[in-house]
């Protein structure tokens, strides 16, 4: 399926609700060891690096927020959490979980390796001058794909700036800090938010929509191409005045070597009238990206026939294994899922961050796999853990992972303890109900019963670590896995 307007797919709704089963400080200490390394700080608290108690090689970012400083804005924090929990995209920071006690909130997200795009731009401009257009296109494409995903949920980030974009050594981009993000209602958004240099003109007028993010990305693209800001001034009011006028220049010498196609995209992203400004999907359809790809001399990633065949033959697993796999995906490194990420992007042709029936069918046909429409629907329903009739990014990774290669004993123990909530060494039915609630997964009594029928081999009303390992790997692989750990 080609790139189409996001209106062709149903708008996702973000559900904001607080969990009945609250994970406290003791739960946090059983699972994470927080370090003294401060990754960042803000008005409400600090962000620390932490490792798993049972797997010190796995690092996470922990945002520790003082509740005293949250007076009057607690719901905004839970809004941010609700947004992050629902977004599922390779270029958006992954929310993992949250703990709280009477004094603090502990929000756990993936640790984004590398540094801020801001620092990368500063160093690049200082040493080499401007970015190559192919480099700028790679960065902008990833950011636009992340924003297409956000906008499909009617979520505007509202504070896109180089400081909120992480870039690692491999050039992978991750959008972070959704503290100002908001789900747009019909009346639009009215509060003036964001950083002065990147604020859209309609934001200054007090009412705006999703396309405020496109303006911010247009400012970033301008900087990537020439090395300086389109709108600058002595103070915020001076900057706002220039943004309101919408006057910027492409006449300096830095623009002499920039292609007309790149200039055209910048102009269309920095369109004053948001109704005329391109959507994120239409930006991705711009000819500049195709030209930049050709300049790199690289072909797009070919679809992996074996992977598609595995999807075609995917058999449903129990709710417990599906949930364990969804937790496992959050433990994986970028290197471990790099090839799968590229395959997902090759199938997700409209860049929404999820695969629908039409896209999966097209991918199968391209690989000469004849799969009837009913079977396509069945494949999706088997993989669709969230129950939204599509394959999300994490679901795709979970369904295509070769678990025997990446599941060592330490990771298996981390997964087991996700469900052994009282640390008894067994997963009881009460444990399972609480674990599912903590993971925001609604399950029925019948599903719980089926889990024990499948995995409680000893028939003692609980699931041992060995029984859990059999579920994850199969009985024949237990000895091999133990020897590798």
Cα gap 1→20, rounded to integer Å: 41
CA 154-92-61 angle, 5° bins: 130
CA 74-76-80 angle, 5° bins: 120
- Rounded to the nearest 10 degrees, the angle between the axes of helix 373-383 and helix 357-366 is 120
Cα gap 339→329, rounded to integer Å: 14
Strands, E assignment, 229-369: 354-355
Instruction: Please tell me which residue in 27, 79, 88, 159 is annotated as part of the active site.
Output: 159
Cβ atoms 279, 151 nearer than 8 A: yes
Give the gyration radius of the chain's Cα atoms.
Answer: 24
Sign of CA dihedral 99, 105, 109, 114: negative
Cβ atoms 383, 420 nearer than 8 A: no
Q: Which are the contacts of 184, defined by CB distance < 8 A and separation ≥ 6?
A: 154, 155, 156, 209, 210
Q: Which are the contacts of 154, defined by CB distance < 8 A and separation ≥ 6?
A: 11, 12, 183, 184, 210
- What would you measure as the largest C-alpha separation in the chain, in angstroms? 77
Number of neighbouring beta carbons within 10 Å of residue 244: 14
Output the six-digit token pair for 353. Answer: 């961050």
Chain center to CA of 154:
15
Beta strand 182-183 pairing with 155-156: antiparallel
Half-sphere CA count of 481, side-chain side, radius 13 A = 21
Q: Is 103 a catalytic residue?
A: no
Q: Binding site for ATP: what residues are annotated?
A: 63
Q: Binding site: what residues are annotated?
A: 63
Active site residues: 159
């Amino acid at each position: 399926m080609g790139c189409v307007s996001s209106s062709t797919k149903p708008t996702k709704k973000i559900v904001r609700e607080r969990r009945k089963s609250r994970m406290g400080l003791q739960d946090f200490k059983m699972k994470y060891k927080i370090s003294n390394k401060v990754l960042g700080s803000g008005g409400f608290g600090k962000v620390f690096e932490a490792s798993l108690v049972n797997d010190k090689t796995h690092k996470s970012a922990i945002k520790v927020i003082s509740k005293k400083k949250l007076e009057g804005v607690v719901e905004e924090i839970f809004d941010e959490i609700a947004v992050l929990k629902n977004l599922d995209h390779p270029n958006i920071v992954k929310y993992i979980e949250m703990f709280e006690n009477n004094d603090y909130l502990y929000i756990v997200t993936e640790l984004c390796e590398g540094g801020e795009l801001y620092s990368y731009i500063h160093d690049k401009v200082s040493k080499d001058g401007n970015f190559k257009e192919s480099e700028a296109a790679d960065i902008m494409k990833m950011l636009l794909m992340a924003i297409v995903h956000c906008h499909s949920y009617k979520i505007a980030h509202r504070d896109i700036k180089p400081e909120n974009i992480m870039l690692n050594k491999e050039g992978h981009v991750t959008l972070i800090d959704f503290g100002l993000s908001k789900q747009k209602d019909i009346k639009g958004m009215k509060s003036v938010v964001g950083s002065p240099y990147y604020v859209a003109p309609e934001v200054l007028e007090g009412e705006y929509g999703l396309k405020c993010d496109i303006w911010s990305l247009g400012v970033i693209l301008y900087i990537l191409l020439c090395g300086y800001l389109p709108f600058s001034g002595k103070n915020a009011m001076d900057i706002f005045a220039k943004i309101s006028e919408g006057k910027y220049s492409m006449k300096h010498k830095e623009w002499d070597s920039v292609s007309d196609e790149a200039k055209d995209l910048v102009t269309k992203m920095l369109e004053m009238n948001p109704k005329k400004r391109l959507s994120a999907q239409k930006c991705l359809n711009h000819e500049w990206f195709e030209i930049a790809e050709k300049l790199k001399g690289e072909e797009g990633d070919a679809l992996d026939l074996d992977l598609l065949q595995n999807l075609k033959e995917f058999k449903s697993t129990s709710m417990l294994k599906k949930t364990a796999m969804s937790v496992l995906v959050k433990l994986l490194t970028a290197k471990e899922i790099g090839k799968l990420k590229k395959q997902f992007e090759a199938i997700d042709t409209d860049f929404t961050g999820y695969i629908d029936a039409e896209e999966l069918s097209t991918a199968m046909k391209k690989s000469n796999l004849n799969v009837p429409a009913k079977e396509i629907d069945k494949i999706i329903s088997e993989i669709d853990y969230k129950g939204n009739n599509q394959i999300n990014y994490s679901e795709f990774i979970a369904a295509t992972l070769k678990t025997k290669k990446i599941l060592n004993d330490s990771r298996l123990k981390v997964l087991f303890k996700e469900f052994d909530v009282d640390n008894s060494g067994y997963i009881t039915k009460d444990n399972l109900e609480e674990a599912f609630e903590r993971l925001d997964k609604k399950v029925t009594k019948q599903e719980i019963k089926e889990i024990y029928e499948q995995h409680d081999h000893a028939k003692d009303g609980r699931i041992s670590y060995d029984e859990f390992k059999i579920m994850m790997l199969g009985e024949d692989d237990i000895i091999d896995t133990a020897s590798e750990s």
